Amino acid sequence: MLYKPRSTLLRSFVSVQTAVGDPGFYGTLMFLIYNHGEFDYKIKKGDRIAQGVVFEVIGSGEYNGSYQESE
């Protein structure tokens, strides 16, 4: 999955730095958000800051790395 910033933030000069989501990953996602503008921009709990673009993956296996969070 690719995570892309919402256009609302981009129009406000706020960038969202993301990474590629591995197949099978679960846990907490963390993004770097940077305000390039000259005015404050407030993000409230529950605001949509990014959207995921899903791709079918064949033959790569699932993520089982050390960053998995246990339940």
Query: How many domains, the chain?
Result: 1
pLDDT tens digits in sequence order for the chain, 71 residues long: 899 999 989 999 999 998 888 777 788 888 999 999 999 999 999 899 999 898 887 776 666 666 556 55
* Confidence at residue 42, expressed as pLDDT on a 0 to 100 scale: 93
Q: Would you say residue 61 lies in a domain?
A: no
Range(s) of the domain holding residue 26? 2-38+47-53
Q: Is residue 33 part of a domain?
A: yes
Instruction: Give the N- to C-terminal CA distance of the chain in Å, as an integer.
Output: 22
Residue 71 DSSP one-character state: -
pTM listed for this prediction: 0.66
Distance of alpha carbon 53 from alpha carbon 21, whole angstroms: 10
